[in-house]
Chain A
């Protein structure tokens, strides 16, 4: 009889190893240039994700059967410096991580099956599944992570595959532009997470979550009391990372841009999984965040403002994917608010239900016309709603405009953050040029007229547009 705890360790390894193997197989086949047939690709994906899924189910069964509330498994010691400074890849099986992993499986297998027919004969069929495999691996690594470095590993894979899937139709400029924008926001969030990891290591010498959350099982774990500004900083950085990933205010502008990819990828990533990953992080860190009033208030403010902003925006969107994206975001805001209130199980239920619901709605987004017709036929004509029922007539146009422009969040980010950074870099560049000219000791030739006009007009255009000028039609 095998020791259940030992078995659990094997199973936990299998959960991560199967999708990792899938990524390696698909990736290396692509690199050596033998693209397998659609059927073969689908089988491979289904088989390996299936193994991972079965391992998760088995692990869940064992934990319930033997009453093991929590099990963490060390996959590898990456770096160990001295006694108390190490980077470890470690995964954790507990109710939260298992629920999130199971959700990932349900949605991803459904989408995988959907895509195998939906994208039949599409030139990028194989590319989609390579990115899809990376995404699944990233989601599993992030949801099962027990150290901040494991989380970062998954977090990066999810971000990378998401951005590449937005740019899936790489022959058109608009998807590339949108993907770049999303990528920039993601990198910002990633930087926050990385800083949090560094700070955490600086504080404790390791990135293990139990240093922040204690060793009790989620949700009964209680965060360790904060010891000063460093732990506040870690919390703050984690909140920024989560906000960027989940499109919370003020990062919401990327969400509609993410709809450039194929419908099913929008469904699973922005409707269901990617957008909840930030929330998951907050949920995981909930006990730690609750220890500090400051952090709790920040979470509440972000959550409430996202919920209100997104539900306003969703009311005025005229294309179905943006409507769903903002409706989704409104619920995400609400879930964050629930977390901020110190709740644990409710937000988890809310999250799971919401993810399933949105995936279905996104997959059925092309049916919008037919659905609308059916409903109209069943109940006769349906008049549109009205704004004035909700707000005083005087403010209605203003509110509408605010929602219509999606709060101009992108413009604000651009003017408030990107522009100053770019100016700073340009200032350094000019300094550098002057220095070179000084060293050269002579009047360097003027810029070519073409480069001058580019620089001028770029400045002008960049200051007014959150768009990237290197990809042109």
Chain B
């Protein structure tokens, strides 16, 4: 890894005084500040049990998106774009178009695009050729092999046009016979002619050579000319800066990798320190903190240690009782890190084990999230131990060098940078000459300055630049498709976009039922299918905690869990309890559960003990083969058996303890649970007004949260609801429905000018996104008057489930494309119960846009499960207050999801968690690869393989004035748009005009297509196809 620009992390917003940071941590305070700054550069992710989606480059959000990516590649050492080969494959597939590449290049270069380079070609054409064709390069010997193997000097390459081949042969022949035979001809030409004249089979004299021979000669001449032209040029490569850490210097100087032994010790110790209950014996003296317990442990004389001198150092330090900061300072002094480099040095040191460092930092700052919290100061102590180990390992690797001189000695011993091979530089020109039609005689006449310009131009258009252009074209195509879809999609309702048409005239005055889903991209298809199967229904989208932030404990759970976005701290506690008549059976079942729990726990533990394990293995072990074989060979059958068994121990009918007395403070104890009437009214009003449902309630309104289900998958929570911090959103939906059914709440709402008709009934429920099952809560409370409409609604939901499963199955290669909805349901349910299944579902993969607006703008539009959908009615919000509060939640949540997917997809091994197959659960907080590795954060490859990494496009139905006001006043959101982390477009509330936002300005958008493709039903459109689909209008079965 190259050196780390400390400025990068230093300019993070919440620490405004850091730009004035003198970078000389002479005092303790400065050192502490430097550590604090370094800590921000680490992508932090919490325990895997509550997977939180966040931008791994959070620390760089003050930069423009592509600038930040360039910075990050340098100091994280991960790729932030796809490899070039992948983009070229996308060109071949037609996903990236050449016109788009040309457009982007023109846009980036401006006037410089048409400048002629080296008198040969325009800059634009040169760059375009470099994008379009894979240019082979390599070291001298590698090239020699490649050229011989592929007979490169025999014929022009396949990328050369036929016209060029003819011209090359003819002109070169003429040129050689005319100019290159005299005594003034260059040496290489004479040598070449001579060689061919004395060829074994060819004619002896050039005039007798046939065309094939001349072609070979011409191509050889081209190669020679390129070599001659490039030979004398200076290097245009920027020299890479010297590494800053001693370990990197040592590696470059040909030494061993000190991090191997340091990491091995540190990983094992940190995992023991952070352990939440996986190991049987906890770390002794853990309560004394990271540093002390480390020193205690390594003061013991128990066998040799991999790092020489560790035991002695630990003994000495535990006697000295110095603090972490002192120890860090001491290590920096011993390692002779100059004061101005200390910040960068600390950042680089922390990044070498970024997963673990980030976890220590996360657990220290958000202590409430785990059962064994980590004391304050652990992060500093972690760093202190790391530096101590680093310096001991360095010393033992360089025993004869005083350690304070190590950096200097190593720098002296670094091998000199090798000069660039002429061959490898010339070979690129050689290939480009064939593609762009530069004949040798023309190249031969280039002046040295022109050669320099040409080669400089080629070599400064680096791989990173090329990938950036590719990515822009890749993303631009999808952006245009999204905007076109919104612009061109017309439903009969779109002729009446004004406020007076809400509710629109063509729809029955009152929908049969309404249902509110999470904004999640997975619900897009479900809503579409629901509306297709029941055109009289209306659907809405809202963040899946439905505005009810709470600590929730289910009837069968032991602990509270926070169900709300990670940025919100809930202030209310809610529990689920059995209803009065179910108490007895509840207690019986609880006992049953407890005995089951004890049994499985003791089996679990005893199998790990020596003697009980022996009894267990000898007498019962053989029986383990039965469940194993059954679960692996018959996953669906076993799954349904387990479910039936689980149902016997499930809590019977339950209710939520939701109403709190006004005089009680909120808390987790018995009488403090729930919300007061005022709080409920507040929540209810906000939720209803946000989605714009006010004033048009149907008889039945269903709120559906969502969660997922899978087996054998540590990343399960990444499939749950992102707006519930990786929890299941059902309880929130249930709580909101209960609040809205409360007559007292309705009374208070009426006082606030929000009338809910007495005939309206609310129901909460949950959508299982893996099995596509819908479960609804508190059905028994539904009044008899609503039974029929409830039955109809349930029927429509069931139909939609099957169709949704069918649409999802098209993505799974192990499901046939011909599955019927019912077969598809069985297939997805089988996936969820199969412990060998690494892809129970694809989560939010393929997301690319978020529409905030009325459903009529997207109803009947096939968005391929790629869009977050938030309901919002601009006509009820003239001053943009509602929009501001919606956006400040929605943008942050969707950005986190989108960018987590982006980075995990472009570099699955670097930013993502890599493949799931070797994952190993450690300390109950994360996964490692194999027995010791850095903590793997990010999403696993199996979850992102179908994702197209593009930035999120927000399409908001509002006016430019309101939007500009929000961008100016809510900077947390505004700066994401300004810096391009999220792209923004606005949709006019009364027409289909779209304005795009770029660099602070709104400009009108012209659609590229004339009209959208259309299909009768969704199934007609997605049938028979596994890849991404274009957006289309679904006309509905009626037409």
Residues of A at the B interface (CB closer than 8 Å) are 106, 110, 113-122, 168-169, 171-172, 174-175, 178, 256-257, 259-263, 307-308, 311, 314-324, 327, 330-331, 334, 346, 349-350, 352-357, 359-361, 363-382, 384-387, 396-398, 400-405, 407-408, 411-412, 415, 449-451, 453-454, 456-458, 460-467, 469, 472-473
Contact = CB atoms under 8 A, between A and B. Distances in A.
B617 A354 contact: yes
A361 B557 CA distance: 24
A369 B628 contact: no
B52 to A, nearest CB: 15
Q: Which of B302, B619, B814, B909 has the most CB of A within 10 A?
A: B302
Contacts of A355: 621
A117 B836 contact: yes
A328 to B, nearest CB: 9
Interface of B: 48-49, 250-251, 253-261, 264, 268, 271-272, 275, 277-285, 296-298, 300-308, 371, 396-400, 413, 415, 556-559, 593-594, 596-598, 600-601, 604, 607-610, 613-614, 616-625, 627-629, 632-633, 711-714, 716, 813-814, 834-839, 909, 915-924, 928-933, 942, 945
Nearest to B814: A120
A404 B633 contact: no
B840 to A, nearest CB: 11
A379 B594 contact: yes
Contacts of A461: 255-256, 258, 261, 396-397
B303 A374 contact: no
Given A375-B597, A408-B305, A106 B923 contact: no
Q: Closest 6 interchain pairs by CB? A: A353-B621, A378-B597, A408-B303, A461-B256, A260-B930, A262-B917
A411 B624 contact: no
A330 B610 contact: yes
Given A318-B278, A466-B306, A400 B633 contact: no
Given A330-B613, A461-B255, A461-B256, A169 B400 contact: no
Given A334-B610, A353-B621, A382-B277, 19 more contacts: A117-B836, A169-B915, A169-B918, A175-B930, A307-B610, A311-B609, A319-B278, A320-B920, A346-B618, A353-B620, A357-B607, A361-B607, A366-B712, A369-B924, A373-B49, A384-B279, A386-B282, A411-B304, A457-B256
A371 B915 contact: no
A323 B302 contact: no
A117 B834 contact: yes
Contacts of B264: 467
Contact of B617 (A118, A331, A402): A331
B281 A366 contact: no
B617 A353 contact: yes
A472 B260 CA distance: 9
Q: Which of B594, B604, B632 has the most CB of A within 10 A?
A: B632
Given A318-B275, A457-B255, A465-B260, A350 B617 contact: yes
Contact of A473 (B254, B257, B618, B625): B257
A466 B304 CA distance: 12
B308 A368 contact: no
Given A350-B618, A453-B413, A110 B281 contact: no
- Chain B interface SS verdict (over half): loop
Contacts of B250: 457
B38 to A, nearest CB: 21
B610 A467 contact: no
Contacts of B837: 117-118
Q: Which of B258, B556, B610, B623 has the most CB of A within 10 A?
A: B610
Given A369-B924, A460-B399, A110 B918 contact: no
Contact of B917 (A263, A327, A363): A263
B256 A458 contact: yes
A366 B556 contact: no
A82 B932 CA distance: 54
B558 A360 contact: no
Contacts of A456: 398, 400
Contacts of B371: 381
A465 B297 contact: no
A114 B838 CA distance: 11
Nearest to A380: B558
Given A382-B601, A397-B285, A402-B302, A366 B256 contact: no
B306 A464 contact: yes
B304 A352 contact: no
Nearest to A325: B931
B182 to A, nearest CB: 46
A115 B633 CA distance: 11
A367 B257 contact: no
Contact of B918 (A260, A381, A411): A260
19 contacts: A116-B836, A118-B836, A121-B945, A171-B909, A259-B930, A260-B918, A311-B609, A353-B624, A357-B616, A359-B628, A373-B49, A378-B594, A384-B280, A386-B281, A397-B285, A404-B272, A408-B303, A461-B255, A469-B256
Contacts of A397: 284-285, 296-297, 300
Contact of A318 (B272, B557, B838): B272
A79 B256 CA distance: 47
Nearest to A346: B618
B919 A356 contact: no
Contacts of A460: 256, 396-399
A386 B282 CA distance: 7
Contacts of B928: 319
Contacts of B716: 369-370
Contact of A411 (B255, B283, B306, B604): B306
Contacts of B305: 405, 408, 411
Contacts of A370: 713, 716
B272 A367 contact: no
B920 A365 contact: yes
Contact of A465 (B261, B597, B836): B261
A314 B608 contact: yes
Contact of A364 (B251, B623, B835, B945): B835
A400 B924 contact: no
A376 to B, nearest CB: 5
Nearest to A324: B608
B625 A450 contact: no
A327 B607 CA distance: 8
Nearest to A385: B280
A369 B715 CA distance: 10
A437 B559 CA distance: 76
Contact of B931 (A321, A359, A415): A321
Contacts of B301: 398
Given A350-B614, A407-B303, A454-B254, A375 B604 contact: yes
Contacts of B628: 110, 356, 359-360, 363
A119 B601 contact: no
A261 B281 contact: no
Nearest to A260: B930
Nearest to B646: A374
A319 B413 contact: no
Nearest to A451: B254
A207 B861 CA distance: 76
A185 to B, nearest CB: 15
A410 to B, nearest CB: 9
Nearest to A317: B279
B814 A117 contact: yes
Contacts of A175: 918, 930
Nearest to A402: B302
Nearest to A366: B712
